[in-house]
Structure 1
Amino acid sequence: MTVTGFTRFPPFIDDLARSESGRLLHAEFARRWPETADQLVGIARYALLPAGKLLRPMMTLHAAEAVGGSPSDVLPAALGMEYLHVATLVHDDIIDADTLRRGRPAVPVAFGIPSAIVVGDHLIFTAFQSIVECGAAVPPGHVAAAVAALAEAGRDLCRGQMLETQLVGDLDAGARHYREMIRLKTGALFRAVCHVGALLGGADPQLAAGLARYGEHLGIAFQIRDDLLSYVATPEQTGKPATSDLNNGRPTLPLLLAYDAATDTSRVELMAVLHRRGAGPGDVEWVAGLLDEVDAVQGARRQMAGHAERALAELTALAPSASADVLTGIAHWMTSETA
């Protein structure tokens, strides 16, 4: 079920990484996180570098510039968005017992769970410190608003994570609460990276709120995209095991759509597969066949595209600019790479 031509770093993202903003971010990460004998910083460096797509900090910089701000003034906050994102990945790998992250041993595997917990916490606090650092160039009121926006997103993220834990292995509950779960767990951080960028860039409350909505819808689309990657890409392309979601009993959107469309007999079997974490003989192949039979992957793609369109609609309030074009391009990339 792998889509021909899927790449982990598609051309649009490669071009973005080579842009002036991308070079600025990569250079600053290297400068701030050098090799060191300090164990805490060293593990944090392992988690952060080599950097991934840097999508979230890139969105922060371009949200700020799109409303008339200076990317250099919000650079520390943009880095902070990646710190928070990576912290959630470190903690997720503990919760899910995943062993791979970005194609290498996950932090809990490489350094142990206690160290992983501490490093994740360290990155969270450093994210808030990074926003405050912008106070050297940004009015205090804007900094305070950005800190509040990130704190609200962090609380939502925790609620989303807790809700996801409650849905494990339960497709009936998943069907009722999945959309709220991904809005909180993934949409909230995407909302924050755009909201923080807009606030620090000097946007008025209405424009900042519009960019926050753009981010939230994009985050929901991104989570659906991530759900799909287990079924349209190889582990080498995604950097994590193809069976990760089944192993964790996680009710992703393709599974939920399949459950909704399946016969009663197939529903019982799908629930059984989740309960045994996809470990039975032929479980993975059976699930793949069911998804094909009920067209669940295409159904998930349609929902993903719908949220991307709602995100794009929020950008119409922006004046034309190169940064507005980048934010538009990210929404288009989000859906095109799983088409």
Structure 2
Amino acid sequence: MTGGGGAAPATLPPRSGPGPLEPTLRLLRAELTRRCPQDADGVDALGNAAMLPPGKLLRPLLFTESAAVAGMDREDTLTAALGIESLHVGSLVHDDVIDGDELRRGRPTVVARHGMPNAIVTGDALIIGAFQAVAESADGRIPGERQVAVVRTLAAAGVDLCRGQVMEDELRADPGSGLEPYLAMIALKTGALFRAACVGGAQLAGAPAAVEESLRRFAEHLGRAFQMTDDLLPLLSDTETSGKSPLSDVVNGRPTFPVLLCWQRADAGERARLHAALTGAVAPEEALETVRRLLEDTGALAAARAEAAAEGERARSALLDLPGTEARDALAAVAELSVDRDR
């Protein structure tokens, strides 16, 4: 299976749901199961439990399909692609420690089940394991300089994740901070791994600079679309659908996209109620209900949904400069799924 070649058509194919992703997902799931044996113990067992059952595997999908766009066999990308997932899951384990969250993907978090020391070490091991996976990729069949380039990209993404976390803490419980700091923060905290997946896949395949740049632009818009949608999920879905408590963002005073839009649109009285809800002045359940009501009353909820969808379309449009292949169609499907999480 390869990415193939050919000239890009004027338009992308119609929206088709997750169908184009299934062949690559099967490969990734099989490799993930192989790399996470059930008889592991110690920190390996804790890490495997965090990795399995897997989520949507969006980042390894992006890595594999970005490499396939440049003509690389998907089977040769799997180890490095799952390194991206290891880095992602490790960062989530640490996020749950920071936020005190007890649910992740609808299951107890590592910190809730095994305590803070074990959660910190598990997150560390998963993050370090990402670099080990890239080093092991393709058993020497890939030129070493390509692997080094991917390692550098992953390392830069890891540092950006940390920068984004610090920025989020600085913006916490400040709905008046504005959209520009928020966009800068999500470009680091969320966008970093999307960029690393797309650019890293291109680097592993030895893609031309123009292809790498198109994938970078795709990833920038995709990261925005994904995080804007993620901010909406606790407000639109129950815990079973969103995979985490709907109270988490409110309790942690997190500066989410719809809340920032709400502040811009609100009058003085509405802003006072919003501030009280985000700073612990009222009980969490009442705070969540207040936020939901204000988002509806100000039109911020509808505006946030529209902008998330628009960013998804910008991501799809960035793919038009790439060869018209199955791999490109798969990347477009990832953009669709990032905005429409109910599929």
> What is the TM-score with the length of structure 1 in the denominator?
0.92
Note if 1:90 corresponds to 2:70.
Answer: no
Please name the residue that 2:25 is paired with.
Answer: 22
Deviation at 1:338, TM superposition (A): 7.4
**CA–CA distance in structure 2, aligned partners of residues 247 and 44 of structure 1:** 27
Paired residues in the alignment total 327
Equivalences for 1:46-125 in 2 at 5 Å? Answer: 46-125=49-128
Q: Show structure 2 runs of 5+ residues with no match.
A: 1-15
The answer to whether the 8 A contact 1:248-1:277 is kept is no
Closer, same or farther: CA 254–103 of 1 in aligned 2, 3 Å: same
Q: 1:196 to 1:274 in 2, by over 3 A?
A: same
Corresponding letter in the other structure for 1:234:
D
Q: CA deviation at 1:16?
A: 5.7
CA–CA separation in structure 2 for the residues paired with 1:281 and 1:138: 53
Q: Could you list the runs of 5+ residues in structure 1 that have no partner in the other structure?
A: 1-10
User: For the structure 1 residues 211 and 317, does the alpha-carbon distance in structure 2 shift closer, same or farther, using more than 3 Å as the test?
Assistant: same
CA gap 1:278/1:183 in 2 versus in 1, 3 angstroms: farther
**Residue 323 of structure 1 pairs with residue 327 of structure 2:** yes
Query: Contact 2:103–2:243 (CA<8 Å) still a contact in 1?
Result: yes
Cα distance in 2 for residues equivalent to 1:111 and 1:337: 29
Which stretch of structure 1 is more off in the superposition, 36-45 or 278-287? 278-287
The aligned counterpart of 1:234 is: 238
**1:292 correspondence with 2:296:** yes
Residues 58, 324 of structure 1: CA spacing in aligned structure 2 closer, same or farther, 3 A cutoff? same
* Partner in structure 2 of residue 208 of structure 1: 212
Letter in 2 for 1:128: F
Contact 2:247 2:285 in 1 (8 A): no
Residues 177-201 of structure 1 show CA distances to partners (whole Å, capped at 9, x for unaligned) of: 1111111110111011111111111
Conserved? CA contact 1:87–1:123, under 8 Å: yes
**1:196-236, Cα deviation, whole Å (9 max, x unpaired):** 11111120122112212211210111000000111111111
Superposition RMSD in Å: 1.8
Identity %: 43
1:242-277 Cα deviation digits (max 9, x unpaired): 111001110101111111111111112211111107
- Which one scores higher on RCO, CA 8 angstroms, separation ≥ 6? 2
Equivalent in the alignment of 1:187: 191
1:261–1:147 Cα change, 3 Å: same
Match of 1:7 in 2: none
SS of the equivalent of 2:190 reads helix
Amino acid at match of 1:275: T
Deviations 1:273-304 (A, max 9, x none): 11107626732222211111111111112221
Deviations 1:287-329 (A, max 9, x none): 2111111111111122212322222222112111111101112
Tell me, in whole angstroms, the C-alpha distance in 1 between the residues paired with 2:317 and 2:180.
27
**Partner residue of 1:257?**
261
Map Cα deviations across residues 151-184 of structure 1 (whole Å, 9 max, x no partner): 1111111111110011111112254411111111
Note if contact 2:191-2:220 (Cα within 8 Å) is conserved in structure 1.
Answer: yes
State the alpha-carbon separation in 2 of the partners of residues 306 and 277 from structure 1. Answer: 35
